[in-house]
Amino acid sequence: MKRIFSSMVNEFFAVPLSPPRYLSFSELSHASVRVSWEAASQLWLHPTSGDSEQEVMLKTKTPKATVGGLSPTKEYTLQVYVLNGSQEALFAKRKFVIEDLKNASQARNNRRNAGAASGKNLTSVGSSAAEHSGGAEPTPPPPNAVLVHTAKDKAEKKRQKGAQPKGSGEATRSQPHAEAGVTQTPPPAPKSSQRSPASSERESLGKEKPTKDSLRRGSHFQCDTSAMTDIVLLVDGSWSIGRSNFKLIKEFLSTLISPFSIAHDKIRVGLSQYSSDPRTEWDLGAYTTREQVLEAVRNLRYKGGNTFTGLALTHVLEQNLKPDAGARLEAEKLVILLTDGKSQDDANLAAQTLKNMGIEIFAIGVKNADEAELKQVASEPLELTVYNVLDFPLLSNLVGRLTRVLCARIKEKSKENAGSPVKDIPTDMGPQLSPTDLKISAVTSKSMHLTWSPPLRPPKKYRIVYYPSKGGTPKEVILDGAVSSLRLSNLTSHTEYLVSVFPIYDTAVGDGLRGVTSTLPLSSPRSLRVSELSHNSMRLSWKAAPGATQYLVLCSAAPDGAEDYTMEVKVAQPEVLLDGLSPSTEYSVAVYAMYGEDASDPASIQETTLPLSPPRYLSFSELSHASVRVSWEAASQAVKAHHVTYEASGGSNTGEVEVPGTATSTVLRPLSSLTQYFISVRSTYDEGDSFPITGNVTTLKVPPPRALKVTELSGNSLRLQWEAVAASDVVVYQIKWSTAAGEKPQELSIAGNVATAILPGLQKNTDYKISIWAYYKDGARSDTVSIQHRTNSRSPPTNLFIDSESPTSLQVHWKPPEGRVQHYKITYSPVSDTGAQQTIMASGKSSSVTLQSLLPDRAYKVTVSAVHYTGESESTSATGRTGE
């Protein structure tokens, strides 16, 4: 058959989703139907009719889809799934016939037109007349209603359908329904078509259809029974629930309680929260009004811990259902268990004890609850007492159904027990029947000793139950009532045990005496460490375990993608050398202390062998502004070369140097001044490179010129000289000088390979500040070096003349200059032969001198200069001639 689909989205992403809600159908034509829901997005829509040729699958994000090409008189089943990864979860299921949908729609319209004075959205509870007659069907649900049916309802419908003769038409078809994320235990097939009033009432409840608003706000249904009933709410408060989900649990409990008449002589409600240990939040006799109980639920605080359901059920029996806690002997007793996980202890034994005493247990599982365990704990019939939803928000879809089932059960049990003796909890379970003062001593890794004080009335037997608190098969020992001590042996080391001592009498069981203790662990090796490590070996050492006979060392890894292998070594001393290992491989090592055949918990460590030995002892020396010497020590003679890399902190200057494997240092240059460099050295082997050894160093500041020296020259200039510290790296020297009076300074640039300069245009007898600095190749500027200097007046002698000529001498006269003269310098030579120049000195106080031993009849050039204490003056010259 041809089918037509319309959907706005055909793409699917596997993410966790909220369940679809409020599944509804709309008949569009005689052969098509529109399905819609209030939805989480990203769904798999899977309608089938039981005919493989008509099976259709649709992935969609939109909360609606249209299916066409269907038979108007044929029954179809629609299933809505949520996909999460590769898993799928059924969240809604409903059967429909298009003509039934059409008829239901017409019926609703007729009722609206006739007036909705009754204002009823739900069929009434216990409409057994319609069920017994079989001729009238319940009112169809609103289009957006969620209907929760138990497996018993579905089994009954299948039975009715199987009994229907072929060709009987549509009058007896099953009413369409949907399931919103609630799974329940299917009951056994009914043995006959006869139904008791009680089962008729339960089926009536299964067909009730709460409205969308009632599910959101909490049902408006009120349980109109005044039967005396004690209800104990047993709520899982373990860590797996979480605080946000615990708020949803409190909302669920409030909605569950609201329909019931809570009073001192009617229904009483108590609550215990449990995890590792149960805690009574309030007793049955604590509150006498519904408002008080609802306020207590709102104030309920999240406990946290592990999940020990068996211990919690025992707590209900021994604490919550006692007369002094408000339990009434004549009242029916219900326990409503709500849990989200599998119990870590045995819950069946305690549950069976409660059920044997006539206490009815309802088990509600959420998310990760173990449904098989829920069935073991709950009372019969399981189709009414076991519920399991996929997540905490779905509890709101369950509460309307559950309140009606509870109400019906309370009414039913009160009728069953009317006028008959009540089967209650034995009243003789007081302190006189219970042991006290449980002491656990002589605890070892394998055993412990129990002692207790017997009750006032000696029991016939003692039943001692013990098991690991984190889960395990309970073990028990039966002792004679005259014995009050026991040694438990063959225990597991380092394990917490729950121990219970029950006194057993002919007609009762006394209160259990409980204790918790942990066996000691076998002493394990301590402080396991790797003391030596190379590319193919590691040495392990640890602190010895007292009493250990030897140590078992397991070393495992998967080197180079090979299959896992394990090396096993047994040693007597607390150390071992593991060699023959692969380089660059992570190894897991576990060390067990052995006590004969028993092994302690392991001390473990993970370590990775070195790939190849890197160089060692990286150091830096001969540091300057532009270079550094890097030194190291080679780790092996097998090294072929070393690679030294360097990188400036800003990344602007990088480089690499390769040196032979025998080298142990190299100089890195050129570097930038005042810059941090990250330097690494790696060794190269035939097999490849080692890991690098790294360090960092910061270069020095560029040095300034030093040893400045000033020499005055004749005229108005002087010579500046200096010593260049790093002449090869200097680009230019900059010289600046100015008078102390603040006149405009003068500047001069000198090439970096020159270490002297002439400063012209100076004034006499003036103080000058002379400064010099250097610019380097990396752009850095050195510090400025300055010197103070005062120029002096170094005037030459004046009025120089020559007289008193003789054949061998000449008389030279001059006028002394101002200032203090140290001496005079007189230089003379024949005009025709300057190579015969001679120089004599005259006292600074003289103003003439006679030149002797001259050649006759010769012209002589005579030059005189004054040598001051601050330097030599300019010279003055004259010419004279010797006689014949």
Cα–Cα distance for residue pair 80/94, rounded to 1 Å: 9
Taking the C-alpha atoms of residue 547 and residue 557, their distance in angstroms, rounded to an integer, is: 30
Q: Judge if 593 and 655 occupy the same domain.
A: no
Q: What is the pLDDT of residue 65?
A: 65
In the structure, what pLDDT confidence band is assigned to residue 563 with cuts at 50, 70 and 90? low
Amino acid at 475: K
Burial of 587 (0-12, 13-18, 19+ CB in 10 A): buried
pLDDT at 141 over 50: no
Residue-level pLDDT at 529 = 94
- 629-648 exposure pattern, b = at least 16 Cβ within 10 A, e = fewer: ebbbebbeeebeebbbbbbb
Q: With H, G, I as helix, E, B as strand and everything else as coil, classify residue 110.
A: helix
Answer yes or no: do 362 and 270 share one domain.
yes
Task: Centre a 10 Å sphere on the Cβ of residue 310 and count the other Cβ atoms it contains.
Answer: 23
Q: In terms of pLDDT, which residue wins out, 203 or 336?
A: 336
Q: What percent of the chain has pLDDT over 90?
A: 28
> What 3-state DSSP class applies to 320?
helix
Q: What is the pLDDT of residue 143?
A: 32
Residue 206 lies in a domain: no
Phi-psi region of 53 (alpha: psi -120 to 50; beta: other; left: phi over 0): alpha
Mean pLDDT over 358-366 rounds to 92
Strands, sheet with 838-843, edge to edge from the N-terminal-most edge strand: 838-843, 821-830, 859-868, 871-881
pLDDT score, position 115:
52
Flag whether pLDDT at 666 surpasses 90: yes
- If one compares 421 and 618, the residue with the highest pLDDT of the two is 618
Give the pLDDT of residue 612: 85
Q: The domain spanning residue 486 has which CATH number?
A: 2.60.40.10
Cα 381 from Cα 186, distance rounded (Å): 10
Which secondary-structure segment (H or E) carries 114?
A: helix 98-114
Clarify whether residues 855 and 834 are in a common domain.
yes
What's the mean per-residue pLDDT of the chain? 77
Residues 163, 274 within the same domain: no
**266 and 398 part of one domain:** yes
Tokens of 578: 């593991």
pLDDT higher at 412 or 529: 529
Position 225 confidence tier, pLDDT thresholds 50, 70, 90: confident
Q: Are residues 22 and 152 in the same domain?
A: yes
In a domain, 210, yes or no: no
Residues 739 and 831 placed together within one structural domain of the fold = no
Contact (CB, 8 A) for 88 and 172:
no
Q: Domains in the chain: how many in total?
A: 7
The pair of three-digit structure tokens given for residue 544, joined into one six-digit string: 């010895």
Task: Tell me the average pLDDT across 731-754.
Answer: 87
Instruction: Choose from 169-183, 188-202, 668-682 the range with maximum mean pLDDT.
Output: 668-682
Which structural domain, as residue segments, surrounds residue 82? Answer: 1-200
Q: Are residues 139 and 63 in the same domain?
A: yes
Reported in sequence order, the residue ranges of 436-525 that DSSP labels E, i.e. its strands, are 436-441, 448-453, 461-468, 475-480, 485-488, 496-504, 513-518
Overall average pLDDT of the 318-326 stretch:
87
Q: List beta partners, residue 830.
A: 860
Range of weakest confidence among 136-140, 214-218, 276-280, 767-771: 136-140
pTM across the whole model: 0.34
Q: For residue range 472-506, list pLDDT tens digits in order.
A: 777 888 899 999 999 999 888 888 999 989 888 87
Digit-coded pLDDT (tens) for 681-729: 999 987 788 889 999 999 998 889 988 888 777 667 888 988 888 778 8
Banded model confidence at residue 117, pLDDT cuts 50, 70, 90? very low
- Mean pLDDT, range 159-164, rounded to an integer: 40
The answer on pLDDT for 445 being more than 60 is yes
Least confident residue range of 118-132, 154-168, 505-519, 700-714: 118-132
786 and 803 both lie in a single domain: no
Report CA-CA distances (Å) from 282 to 49, 299, 819.
52, 11, 119
Structure-token pair, residue 869:
């204490």
Q: Is 348 found in the same domain as 267?
A: yes
- Cα angle 776-781-782, degrees, rounded to a multiple of 5: 100
Q: Does the CA dihedral 170-175-181-186 come out positive or negative?
A: negative
The residue from 698, 719, 753 where one domain ends is 698
- Residues 393, 258 share a domain: yes
pLDDT mean over 224-234: 89
Is residue 174 scored above 50 in pLDDT? no
- CATH classification of the domain holding 263: 3.40.50.410
Kindly state the average pLDDT of the residues 236-261.
89
Reference 168, options 75, 280, 266, 265; nearest CA is 75
Which pLDDT belongs to residue 820? 79
Q: Are residues 628 and 589 in the same domain?
A: no
Omega before 468 within 30 of 0, i.e. cis: no
Question: Is residue 208 a part of any domain in this protein?
Answer: no
